[in-house]
């Protein structure tokens, strides 16, 4: 059983909830990273951030990052979602290891873990996970 958001969902035997949480957070972290790259590229191209979010959220680019993290924590410059960057990174590593254990290559997951690890090293141990957007911005999106 695992609790994601406001609902409890039975996901399988003992340990399945742990796996589900890690896999969910790998998706969330990957969404946040690529959303940050897209938002920063769009801003530098001259697009309005609010307009970009409206387009993404009304089309196939929609995610928790475009619906929640960017409008509520990143654009206002708060970076205080309440979930630590290092906790996200821990879950991401668990998810990639799980995939490898069951014979599923996780190339994008592994690359995303590497990017988050680099940001974590620079941002410090108490950084909120939304601060990766600021890190991507400050690093020029590279």
Active site residues: 21
Q: Which residues contact 95 (CB under 8 A, 6 or more apart)?
A: 19, 22, 23, 25, 26, 106, 109
As given in the structure block, the two tokens for residue 69 are 């993290």
The answer to whether residues 64 and 31 touch, using CB atoms and an 8 Å cutoff, is yes
Distance separating alpha carbons of residues 37 and 115, to the nearest angstrom: 12
How distant, in Å, are the alpha carbons of 19, 64, 73, 107, 123 from that of 42? 34, 19, 18, 26, 24
Report the chain's C-alpha Rg in angstroms.
16
Distance separating alpha carbons of residues 57 and 65, to the nearest angstrom: 10
């Amino acid at each position: 059983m695992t609790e994601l958001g406001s609902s409890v969902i039975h996901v399988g035997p003992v340990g399945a909830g742990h796996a589900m949480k890690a896999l969910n957070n790998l998706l969330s972290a990957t969404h946040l990273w690529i959303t940050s790259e897209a938002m920063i590229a769009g801003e530098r191209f001259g697009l309005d951030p609010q307009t970009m979010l409206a387009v993404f959220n009304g089309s196939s680019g929609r995610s928790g990052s475009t619906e929640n993290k960017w409008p509520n924590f990143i654009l206002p410059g708060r970076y205080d979602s309440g979930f630590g960057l290092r906790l996200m990174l821990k879950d991401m590593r668990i998810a990639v290891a799980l995939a490898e254990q069951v014979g599923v290559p996780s190339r994008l997951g592994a690359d995303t873990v590497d990017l988050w690890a680099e940001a974590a090293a620079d941002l410090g141990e108490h950084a909120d996970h939304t601060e990766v957007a600021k890190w991507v911005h400050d690093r020029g999106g590279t």
